[in-house]
């Protein structure tokens, strides 16, 4: 295997995982960021994000002399004698004005390194960017001797290292075949199917995949609503659907709507991309609208559970929220459906106390302003009129529900993830309300 000199710009979920994993595959890696404090922590082997195995890989990379950290993209280019052979862009591409992807950080990094990159270097874009970005980057760069390649990333937060090292596929696209092949070769040891294509196709794979996942979830959430109305059980329905290999069991769990740092911004960006191409992507619009409605629907469920009426008032009703991150296994609060539901409940006048296994009561985040965070689930549930499970942390299943029943003002649990064993909750005295679940327990099947 060839050992490459690799610069990674941006050390968040994608950049740090990419840097640490490429170092573990034997490459020489320097990671750059603009956050000097974070860089100092990483250089000392400290990782700020909750990602299993990441801190260990970072420490191993540093100890082996294959992973280091510098300030700024220009610093990363200067780090190696002869400069980097490959430079990865792993910087944010947040939702910009009107829902389009904001490419200003990508462009500023390209601007920063354009005159510094050595001849033959390949810029690899791992940030999620609209179709046409590689071409625009080539123009901005204005260098025939530096190639631009799109190499979208598909890792999930909470299993970033595992996903990076065990990818379902590697996608690499660019106008220069040899540069694309050099990038694909970096992953050769992973043995994943590799799609070598042009840059627009590679860029579109990323959006098309994320939007398909979002569509799958909106569909499931809509079917769960139908189950509620028709008396069918969503767990059995999705199990029955999922055995069909064309559908699969994964990504069929109903919930309070999909969120996180990517699906919301990427669905919005693809919609804008379609719009700009004069294509009315109604299916994607419906996917997003269904998700917005899903959050509102969770509030309606709580309202009916607490007041017995669709029009009842939640004013000053104390509600305990279990789970605040956008899914279990991460401490990421970005675009969390739990916090979106919290904001709607607060708007309806409810008093909210939240608990999340990954957060302490000292946690500060603008989206936490609608609630008080407790350090302990029993404290959060004290005197609550309802407990609402919003994130599927497995530990919620093993709480002492008997003790919780004695702590709350009213034993009602609205389980928006269908996480709990209803029989356990009911035995403890709770009224358990799930999503797409018949009210009465069906007879056990043999
Ligand atoms: N979070 C995820 O699970 C995935 C994210 N992506 C995409 O990857 C990109 C990065 O996402 P995350 O890693 O989540 O972002 P992040 O917000 O976790 O990390 C981005 C990092 O870039 C740094 N940065 C900002 N401006 C910089 C600059 N000018 N020079 C150097 N560093 C700079 C920030 O300080 C931060 O450390 C986005 O386009 C995202 O859509 C793709 C797949 C998965
Ligand atoms: O581009 C990205 O950033 C990444 O976005 C998602 O990964 P992630 O944001 O980590 O989260 P997911 O695990 O996909 O979950 C997204 C949302 O869907 C919800 N979800 C997921 C699965 C499910 O069955 N039900 C469900 O409601 C989660 O709770 C969460 O709110 C994709 O799964 C990754 O492949 C992609 O690389």
* Gap from CA of 261 to ligand 1 centroid (Å): 10
- In DSSP terms, 124 is beta-bridged to 88, 149
Instruction: Report the half-sphere exposure of 331 (CA within 13 A, side-chain side).
Output: 13
- Give the DSSP H/E element, type plus range, for residue 123: strand 122-125
Distance from Cα 199 to the centre of ligand 2, integer Å: 24
- Say which DSSP state 323 is in: -
Ligand closest to CA 126: 1
Tell me, using a 6 A CB cutoff, whether residue 207 lines ligand 2: no
What is the DSSP annotation of 174-194? ES-HHHHHHHHHTTGGG---E
Residues classed as catalytic: 262
pLDDT, residue 441, reads: 53
Q: Which candidate, 368, 387, 380, places its Cα nearest to that of 433?
A: 387
| b/e map 380-403, b = 16+ CB within 10 Å | bbbebbbbbbbbbbeebeebebee
CA 16–ligand 1 middle distance (angstroms) = 9
- Contact indicator for 227, 216 with CB cutoff of 8 Å: no
71 CB near ligand 1 (under 6 Å): no
213 lines ligand 2 (CB under 6 A): yes
Q: Are 33 and 65 in contact (CB under 8 A)?
A: no
Give the residue carrying structure tokens 């699906």. 263
Bridge partner residues of 70 (DSSP): 32
CA 65, 71, 75, 77 torsion-angle sign? positive
Low-confidence stretches of the chain (pLDDT < 70) are 1, 440-446
Give the per-residue pLDDT at 319: 98
- For ligand 2, whether the C-beta of 155 sits within 6 Å is yes
Which residue CA neighbors atom 32 of ligand 2 most closely? 156
Ligand nearest to the CA of 13: 1
Quickly list DSSP for 149-181.
EE------TTSHHHHHHS-S-EEEEES-HHHHH
Give the number of the atom of ligand 2 that is nearest the alpha carbon of residue 253: 24
Is residue 402 within 8 Å of 413, Cβ to Cβ?
no
Ligand 2 within 6 A of CB of 326:
yes
DSSP secondary structure letter of residue 387:
E
Q: What is the pLDDT of residue 1?
A: 57
For 133-156, the pLDDT digits (tens) are 999 999 999 999 999 999 999 999
End-to-end CA distance of the chain: 55
Q: Indicate which ligand has the atom closest to the C-alpha of 154.
A: 2
For 344, the token pair is 């709607």
Distance CA 140, CA 101 (A): 18
Q: How far is CA 378 from the centre of its chain?
A: 28
Cβ–Cβ < 8 Å for 10, 92: yes
Q: How far apart are CA 39 and CA 11, in angstroms?
A: 8
Q: In what order do the strands lie in the sheet with 28-33?
A: 67-71, 28-33, 5-9, 86-89, 122-125, 147-150, 170-174, 194-197
Helix (H, G, I), strand (E, B) or coil at 124: strand
β partners of residue 172 = 196
Task: State the distance from the centre of ligand 2 to the C-alpha of 258, rounded, in angstroms.
Answer: 7
């Amino acid at each position: 295997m060839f050992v490459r000199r690799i610069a990674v710009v941006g050390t968040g979920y994608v950049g740090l995982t990419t840097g640490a994993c490429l170092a573990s595959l034997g490459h020489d890696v320097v990671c750059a960021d603009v956050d000097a404090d974070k860089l100092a922590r990483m250089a000392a082997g400290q990782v700020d994000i909750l990602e299993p195995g990441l801190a260990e890989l970072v420490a191993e990379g540093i100890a082996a002399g294959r992973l280091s950290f510098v300030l700024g993209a220009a610093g990363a280019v200067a780090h190696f004698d002869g400069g980097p052979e490959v430079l990865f862009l792993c910087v944010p591409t947040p939702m910009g004005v009107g829902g389009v992807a904001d490419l200003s950080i990508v462009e500023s990094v390209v601007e920063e390194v354009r005159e510094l990159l050595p001849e033959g270097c390949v810029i690899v874009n791992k940030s999620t960017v609209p179709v046409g970005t590689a071409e625009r980057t080539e123009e901005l760069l204005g260098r025939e001797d530096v190639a631009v390649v799109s190499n979208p990333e598909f890792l999930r937060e909470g299993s970033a290292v595992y996903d990076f090292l065990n990818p379902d596929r590697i996608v690499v696209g660019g106008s220069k075949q040899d540069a694309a092949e050099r990038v694909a070769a970096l992953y050769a040891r992973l043995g994943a199917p590799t799609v070598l294509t042009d840059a627009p196709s590679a860029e579109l794979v990323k959006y098309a995949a994320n939007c398909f996942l979002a569509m799958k979830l909106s569909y499931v959430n809509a079917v769960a609503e139908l189950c509620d109305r028709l008396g069918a059980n969503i767990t059995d329905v999705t199990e029955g659907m999922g055995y069909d290999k064309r559908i699969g069991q994964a990504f069929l769990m109903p919930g309070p709507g999909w969120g996180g740092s990517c699906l919301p911004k990427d669905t919005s960006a693809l919609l804008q991309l379609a719009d700009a191409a004069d294509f009315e992507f109604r299916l994607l619009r419906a996917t997003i609208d269904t998700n917005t409605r899903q959050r509102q629907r969770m509030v309606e469920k709580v309202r009916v559970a607490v007041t017995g009426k669709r029009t009842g008032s939640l004013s000053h009703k104390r509600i305990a929220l279990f789970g605040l991150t956008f899914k279990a296994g991460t401490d990421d609060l970005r675009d969390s459906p739990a916090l979106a539901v919290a904001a709607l409940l607060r708007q309806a006048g409810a008093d909210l106390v939240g608990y999340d296994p990954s957060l302490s009561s000292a946690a500060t985040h603008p989206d936490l302003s609608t609630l008080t965070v407790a350090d302990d689930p029993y404290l959060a549930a004290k005197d609550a009129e309802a407990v609402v499970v919003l994130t599927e942390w497995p530990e919620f299943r093993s709480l002492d529900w008997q003790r919780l029943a004695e702590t709350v003002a009213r034993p009602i649990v609205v389980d928006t993830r269908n996480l709990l064993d209803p029989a356990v909750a009911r035995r403890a005295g709770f009224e358990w309300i799930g999503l797409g679940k018949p009210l009465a327990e069906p007879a056990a099947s043999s």
